[in-house]
Chain A
């Protein structure tokens, strides 16, 4: 009886993140003008929409709201000139991301409301409250509503890649010996064959003496993205670093240069021509549609560019993403929530990623604790969403995070979705131009805003 009464009496609880200069004043104007409108919205005031981190939106849902409104000054009117234009960039991508996770978009709204638009604010709130009412109470955050959706995309078979010619290994060793012998680099980061229980696999290695360079190899088992070691203090202490890098790894290196984590002159890139690596006996998904089989940035080139083959097919992640997008939001939610529930917060995804170099990581900040450290479902959801979000426009799709995950979470799908949205919206692909501004730190006056009221 009590439960029914509770459900009959349910009123949408909505939080609005608004900017101080426009929407807050507009909402105030609605009040002073005695406009009647739905009381379901709690307003949180920010100096500017530019300050609104998607993290806050996630926290709001985690704390039980049924809907979120984000509103600020019209483009061109921002008190801080461009805060809202940068925010708009974020919203374009974030909204699509939330839809992909399975959030009902009736719960997430964006608007421009100026200081004089009290009537617009009142009308907006009334409309949004009804939309959220039609969506019903928000499902328990981070729990599936009904079982687990299984993704069964049928993918075309792709053959194994050809083994790199043995000359490439000899070339790498020779280059390493030269670089170390002349003292041009202090260490070469490359691959060697593992001994022990991982025999038959390649593994990262660090060579700092020319006579040890014969450890280095390159073959189709060299799956790791070694760029992660370029920000590692135990490697940097050797001085300039030589690094054996496939085209994908070089895209990560470009990202690090772009973001001022390393200087171009502090790294000597030994770029290798690569036709793909093998993971679990098959061509890695990241390699199927690879566009950088011939390195696009290097100091030394290993291998013959004419050996590079054309891509084997379309990116298999795209087909899987399309399948997910053909499902209803609730089915997508039931795909992702069981995945994140499995997360044990080992942070292997973060540890292998060359672009996760922040110290401290947002998950490690505890004043305030934005992301709960506990591996319960909503803590995990916050972590995985925010990590993917922080890599939006930066992740180059090396797939290491998904490979490293001990509980098989489809992190590769999350990151690829964000990369696709950034490319569609802004025409930007990360990892090619070290001098390009990163997509979310800039804006264009004509960024599409058809979803903003």
Chain B
């Protein structure tokens, strides 16, 4: 597209000349903040964590979000991609996201280096009702890249340790190489009253593996969790979530006690473009956090 053709592209309707009067859009809901990549860490061969800082210091100071919300991250010229905000709002001043390279935008994102600029639009979506969980026992079960969706809310609960009861974190993956946040698990385990369990699928262990071996739902059941005054927060591949919900039911968890966070193909992230529409809901507005009770009512369209 040549310079000067951009004006021609701002067409009003098919085959019609440019409008007589135009005005610059002021509150552009699609305009992202500019962020600098300040740090990165590879979690696995295809999953990377980025730490981002707002270029605008005013925004850096005031930007706030709730645990569980997500954002649209832009690679200008390539596109936008949805990832959860992977750090807790108790750890302000930066935004972290963890993503797996699967497609066009994530591949372009993976080619970026520290110091480069990306876009960030958010926070969108609902959040984990962390206030309702006060005093409760918390079970976090993440499968593979599903743990990424839990990290923000986990950090929140760890940072607000006194407000919650016993915390169990089960970080599971297919193989040792697929485990994310390997370097952070020690930090989590070191917090008082937190039990950290790591697990890989049978066949995924290395000779020096000192964690559990088994499918996440099975490992979870073997830990004999109790549903009394407890909340289960889980995320992972669809098949894992399905079996986790069955396990939770078997263990006596009521559907309102079980939380998960969904992903669906998104574009606008704010409930207009229709892409993430599931039943009467938009995953980007009415989700991505859902209880198992709400999930049961959603049509199988995600």
Which candidate, B6-14, B91-99, B207-215, B285-293, is the interface stretch facing chain A?
Answer: B6-14
> A342-373: which residues lie under 8 A (CB-CB) from chain B?
342, 344, 366-367
Is A436 on the interface with B (CB-CB < 8 A)? no
In residues 1-35 of chain B, which contact A (Cβ within 8 Å)? 1-2, 5, 8-9, 11, 14-15
B104 near A: Cβ within 8 Å? yes
Cβ–Cβ < 8 Å partners of A376 in chain B: 8-9, 11
- Across-interface contacts of B8 in A (CB, < 8 A): 140, 143, 376-377
B15 CB contacts on chain A under 8 angstroms? 338, 341-342
Q: Is the interface of A mostly helix, strand, loop or mixed?
A: loop
**Nearest chain A CB to B189's CB is how many angstroms away?**
41
Q: Which residues of B contact A64 (CB under 8 A)?
A: 2
Number of interface residues of B (CB under 8 A): 11
Kindly state the interface size class of chain A when it binds its partner.
Answer: 10 to 19
Instruction: Give Cα distance in the complex from A298 to B96, angstroms.
Output: 64
Kindly state the separation between the CA atoms of A181 and B68 in the bound complex, as whole angstroms.
58
- Given contacts A140-B8, A367-B104, A342 and B14 within 8 Å (CB-CB): yes
Do B14 and A378 touch (CB < 8 A)?
no
| Docked-complex contact A378 and B1, CB < 8 angstroms | yes
- Residues on B with C-beta less than 8 A from A143 are 8
Q: Does A146 touch B at the CB level, under 8 Å? A: no
> Which A residues between 295 and 349 are near B, CB-CB below 8 angstroms?
338, 341-342, 344
A337: nearest residue on chain B (CB-CB)?
B15
Q: What CA separation (Å) do A79 and B158 show in the bound complex?
A: 66
B1 touches A366 (CB 8 A): no
Residue of chain A at shortest CB distance from B16:
A341
Contact A407 B104 (CB under 8 A): no
State the CA gap A64–B1 with chains docked (Å): 7
Report the bound CA distance from A361 to B260 in whole Å: 36
Query: Which A-chain residue is minimally distant from B5 (CB atoms)?
Result: A140
Interface residues of B (CB under 8 A from A): 1-2, 5, 8-9, 11, 14-15, 103-104, 107
Would you give 25 A-B contacts (Cβ < 8 Å), ordered by A?
A: A62-B1, A63-B1, A63-B2, A64-B2, A140-B2, A140-B8, A143-B8, A338-B15, A341-B14, A341-B15, A342-B14, A342-B15, A344-B14, A366-B104, A367-B103, A367-B104, A367-B107, A374-B9, A375-B14, A376-B8, A376-B9, A377-B8, A378-B1, A378-B5, A407-B14
Report, nearest first, the 9 A-B pairs whose CB atoms are least far apart: A341-B15, A64-B2, A376-B9, A367-B104, A342-B14, A366-B104, A342-B15, A338-B15, A341-B14
